[in-house]
Amino acid sequence: QPAGAQHLVLLFHGVGSSASDLLPLGQALAPHMADAFIVSVQAPDAQGSGRQWFSVQGVTEDNRPARVAATMPRFARAVREWQLASGIDTASTTLIGFSQGAIMALESTQTDRPPAGRVIALSGRFAQPPRVALKATCVHLIHGDADRVMPVHLAEDALAQLQALGGQATLDRFPGLGHGIDSRVLAAIVGHMKDAHSPPS
């Protein structure tokens, strides 16, 4: 929480995990982002020993969108609360989500008032194909091609769909990476954040 922070970075964990599980990622990012206010956000509902934004019990392709939509106001409220606490606006906010956290972050771009200027989705997917691609929000998809929980084709489909809609989107695909985060993912996040905050040449 640097004094005079210029950027807000919010981390959103996966289902059954907790905010503490993404602290190592936040700590690894901090040296590269000295002017960023970085927070790992806890999902609201209990799920075993962890937390979740929506239940995955009995989840299907058909019912997932409704579950995400039902909890989206809570997600947006959490983002807004940290924006108010940090004094950082929407354009300077980045959402980094892993797995279910990535679903929530990606779907937030499809709402009437997207809460962030940048979304970085790690091993994630849209709950349903994106309907709009707003010019004010840039999406970075980061995925392992050995992910068996959320296969990489979901990220490839999302990239193609966003680009077809005229949106700003990229995909970093890493060979051999499963449903997780490694040093390549960290380097990709840092690269995207540095590109976003570099002054134009």
Catalytic positions, please?
99, 147, 179
- Distance between CA 157 and CA 148 in Å, rounded? 16
Measured CA angle at 153 (ends 152, 155), to 5 deg: 70
In which region does residue 46 sit, left (phi positive, over 0), alpha (psi from -120 to 50) or beta (all else)? beta
Determine how many CB atoms are found less than 10 A away from the CB of residue 25: 21
The residue with tokens 């606490």 is 85
Task: Report d(CA 76, CA 168) in Å as an integer.
Answer: 21
**Torsion angles phi and psi, residue 51, rounded to 5:** -135, 165
Q: What are phi and psi of 61, to 5 degrees?
A: -60, -30
Please list, residue by residue across 159-186, b when 16 or more beta carbons sit within 10 angstroms of its beta carbon and e when fewer do. bebbeeeebebbbbebeebebebeeebb
Element of type H or E holding 184: helix 183-197
